[in-house]
């Protein structure tokens, strides 16, 4: 598992390299075409391919720059197609490459219609749709090319045969054994050598309960809600400091409640996994009954705060806790290979909560942001599943690398990455976000794509973690760019 080294890195430009460059080039065109400034540029330059107006107009410069970029990317797609067709690439790769070569002239034609202002309102949307289709076709070619170059015969375990590994408990200290016999396996017992002062004990307890809340998830999911609120404010809705504080605080408590219930329900499996065997319930630092009570207190406080905003936010907050704690933890995660995909709904709900907190309803922009988080989740988490494949197998979880193999998982990671970039561009188009968000998705999306392509070739834990961190950086900075773009410009 994940043992191939850097000797498989391509040191020269290969068909994979050309396809990667073509995918990025087309994505840049899609993002530029999604920005509101390009629409203004098209109105300022209503002839094609050149402009019959002053070049000193910034909008004209943008329009001509876009057309020049389209010509360069078109040449790149043409060269890539020739290289693929002359190579020994898989027939599937050649077939979709021919489709891309056929579609690109159509994209140019639709772009010309946008420029000359044909009067058909659907033309700009059609231009974006054709661009996204071209991007998807080239991404499919890249995925298949990588699969043929780097695919392996992976060892898999069918979901029906997957069971948690036998639990091997370390020997217990005498004092702990006596306490466990009296209070049960969820008792909190500290070694005699760990006697602390009262203030130190309080700090330790607080830290332990805070760990139950999964604080690593809080900043990212809070940023999702903040981005949704910023988008709502940019759309003309009133955003107050009180709404921000209540929504984010309620969200943090809801995340804490979900994490606590997850700790309770997975404590036995956590003990079997190196990644999680130091969690508070797995190590008996917190009694189960205390953790359950703590989770209910967090749930109540969260709903109470959301109700101070509006009923819809409170309802969505309750659904988020219920979905992650019960549907994902008990139903999806231990029973289906699609747990990561379907579980993305839990991460997408903060977007709807943030939007509803400001507007009192759910609109297209809020749904698009939620969909963006939904498709990002497998592109993000599959990398972690690859790095911890054996660990998840010991825990009895049917993660994709365990039941479908690492080759399939890497391919699906690329597919979901492509979907993430597409929904990012659609979000820019629908919400009229500016150049900061566009530049962020292009630059960080390129880093994310590079990391995933490297993962295909290296197939190491280091490469999997690199792609995992790249996904975090992409989402965090993209959401931050949305907040700045929506509120400052």
Domains of the chain: 13-150 (no CATH), 206-488 (1.10.357.140)
* Number of helices (H), then strands (E), in the chain: 19, 0
What the block records as the tokens of 210 is 């805070």
* Helix 364-387 vs helix 461-488: crossing angle, to nearest 10: 160
What is the distance between the alpha carbons of residues 10 and 257, in angstroms, rounded to a whole number? 46
Q: Walk along the chain (489 residues) and give the pLDDT tens digit of each residue.
A: 565 554 444 335 688 999 999 999 999 989 987 775 555 666 666 666 667 665 566 666 777 777 888 889 999 999 999 999 999 889 999 999 999 999 988 888 877 776 676 455 566 678 788 889 999 999 999 999 999 999 988 888 888 888 888 876 554 344 344 444 444 444 444 443 444 555 568 888 889 999 999 998 899 999 999 999 999 999 999 999 999 999 999 999 999 999 999 999 999 999 999 889 999 999 999 999 999 999 999 999 999 999 999 999 999 999 999 999 999 999 999 999 999 999 999 999 999 999 999 999 999 999 999 999 999 999 999 999 999 999 999 999 999 999 999 999 999 999 999 999 999 999 998 888 888 999 999 999 999 999 999 999 999 999 999 999 999 999 999 999 999 998 886
Contacts of residues 483-488 at CB distance under 8 Å and 24 or more positions apart, as own/partner, are 483/223, 483/226, 483/227, 483/230, 484/436, 485/234, 485/433, 485/434, 485/436, 485/437, 486/227, 486/230, 486/231, 486/233, 486/234, 486/431, 486/433, 487/230, 487/233, 487/234
What the block records as the tokens of 440 is 């962020």
pLDDT at 32: 84
Instruction: List, as one string, the DSSP characters of 96-156.
Output: HHHHHHHHHHHHHHHHHHHHHT-S-THHHHHHHHHHHHHHHHHHHHHHHHHHHHH------
pLDDT at 440: 95
What is the distance between the alpha carbons of residues 474 and 480, in angstroms, rounded to a whole number? 10
Alpha helical stretches, state H, 235-338: 241-265, 267-270, 288-307, 311-322
pTM over 0.85: yes
Q: Which helix (H) or strand (E) holds 169?
A: none
What is the distance between the alpha carbons of residues 113 and 412, in angstroms, rounded to a whole number? 35
Residues 6+ apart with CB under 8 A from 144: 90, 92, 93, 96
């Amino acid at each position: 598992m994940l043992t191939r080294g850097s000797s498989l890195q391509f040191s020269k430009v290969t068909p994979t390299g050309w396809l990667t460059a073509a995918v990025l080039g087309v994505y840049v065109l899609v993002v530029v075409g999604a920005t509101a400034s390009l629409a203004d540029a098209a109105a300022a330059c209503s002839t094609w391919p050149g402009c019959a107006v002053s070049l000193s107009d910034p909008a004209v410069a943008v329009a001509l720059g876009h057309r020049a970029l389209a010509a360069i990317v078109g040449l790149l797609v043409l060269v890539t197609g020739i290289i693929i067709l002359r190579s020994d690439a898989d027939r599937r790769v050649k077939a979709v490459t021919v489709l891309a070569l056929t579609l690109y002239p159509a994209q140019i034609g639709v772009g010309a219609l946008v420029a000359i202002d044909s009067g058909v309102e659907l033309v700009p949307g059609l231009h974006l749709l054709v661009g996204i289709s071209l991007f998807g076709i080239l991404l499919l070619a890249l995925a298949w090319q990588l699969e043929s170059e780097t695919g392996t015969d992976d060892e898999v375990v069918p979901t029906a045969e997957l069971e948690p590994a036998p639990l091997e408990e370390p020997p217990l200290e005498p004092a702990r054994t006596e306490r466990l016999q009296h209070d049960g396996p969820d008792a909190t017992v500290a070694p005699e050598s760990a006697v602390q002062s009262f203030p130190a004990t309080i700090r330790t307890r607080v830290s332990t309960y805070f760990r139950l809340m999964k604080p690593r998830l809080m900043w990212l999911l809070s940023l999702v809600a903040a981005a949704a609120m910023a988008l709502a404010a940019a759309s003309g809705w009133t955003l107050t400091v009180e709404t921000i504080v209540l929504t984010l605080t309620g969200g943090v408590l809801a995340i804490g409640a979900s994490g606590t219930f997850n700790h309770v329900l997975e404590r036995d499996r956590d003990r079997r996994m190196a990644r999680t065997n130091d969690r508070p319930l797995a190590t008996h630092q917190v009694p189960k009954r205390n953790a359950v009570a703590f989770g209910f207190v967090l749930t109540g406080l969260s709903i109470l705060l959301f109700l101070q905003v509006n009923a819809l936010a409170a309802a969505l907050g309750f659904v988020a806790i219920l979905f992650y704690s019960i549907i994902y933890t008990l139903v999806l995660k231990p029973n289906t290979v699609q747990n990561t995909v379907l579980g993305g709904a839990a991460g997408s709900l903060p977007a709807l909560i943030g939007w509803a907190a400001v507007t009192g309803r759910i609109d297209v922009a809020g749904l698009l942001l939620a969909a963006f988080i939904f498709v990002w989740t497998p592109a993000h988490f599959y990398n972690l599943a690859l790095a911890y494949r054996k660990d998840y197998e010991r825990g009895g979880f049917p993660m994709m690398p365990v039941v479908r193999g690492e080759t399939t998982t890497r391919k699906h990671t690329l597919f979901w990455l492509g979907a993430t970039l597409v929904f990012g561009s659609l979000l820019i188009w629908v919400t009229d976000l500016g150049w900061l968000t566009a530049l962020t998705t292009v630059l960080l999306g390129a880093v994310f794509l590079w990391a995933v392509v490297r993962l295909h070739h290296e197939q190491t834990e280091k490469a999997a973690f690199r792609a995992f961190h790249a996904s975090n950086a992409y989402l965090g900075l993209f959401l931050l760019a949305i907040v700045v773009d929506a509120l400052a410009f």
